Amino acid sequence: MVINPQGELCRCGARGCWETQIGCDAVLRAAGRELDAAEVQDIVIAARSGDDAALDTMRTVGGWLGLGIGDLVNIFNPEVVVLGGYLHHLIAEVPGVKVDRVGSSRRAPREQVKVMPPELADDSTLIGAGELAFAELLADPLGILARSASLVTS
């Protein structure tokens, strides 16, 4: 999803994709950090402790995040948008930073959508992958055991 036609070249070949504006590289670039020598978490921690440059970075990225969310809200009209990865820090932990351009969405969907962190915090992706791997077992544990037993006895 292109949101900044004057933005950085994306690895997909387009320019200004949402990822180039809100991804980890975008945060590091906005903070003036070397891409391979710093972590986004360093900037989140600095912002949390009141570092003005880090807060400016988070506000900039938060603005692009909100702009993209606003577009998605206009298209899909979701009730909830869950921000995983480092993105939930933008709304959950850094004072004064908010997703402030969701306002670009139409009024009714904007008033109804909730932008929130995942309930499982930083482990949500890992837990989701684990649940996917074990989905068949969780759905039918006795059936899996019975099929496994029949394989052993045959």
Q: Which residues bind Zn ion (CB under 5 A)?
A: 10, 12, 14, 17
Q: Nearer to Zn ion by C-beta: 10 or 72?
A: 10
CB of 106 to Zn ion, least distance (A): 25
Alpha-carbon distance values, 104 to 67, 98, 137 (Å): 6, 14, 44
Q: Nearer to Zn ion by C-beta: 25 or 93?
A: 25
Q: Nearer to Zn ion by C-beta: 8 or 56?
A: 8
Q: Return d(Cα 116, Cα 26) in angstroms, integer.
A: 21
Q: Return d(Cα 88, Cα 48) in angstroms, integer.
A: 13
Question: What is the greatest pairwise CA distance in the chain?
Answer: 68
Q: Return d(Cα 118, Cα 20) in angstroms, integer.
A: 22
CB of 61 to Zn ion, least distance (A): 16
CB of 62 to Zn ion, least distance (A): 20
Q: Nearer to Zn ion by C-beta: 13 or 32?
A: 13
Alpha-carbon distance values, 112 to 58, 77, 102 (Å): 24, 9, 11
CB of 108 to Zn ion, least distance (A): 30
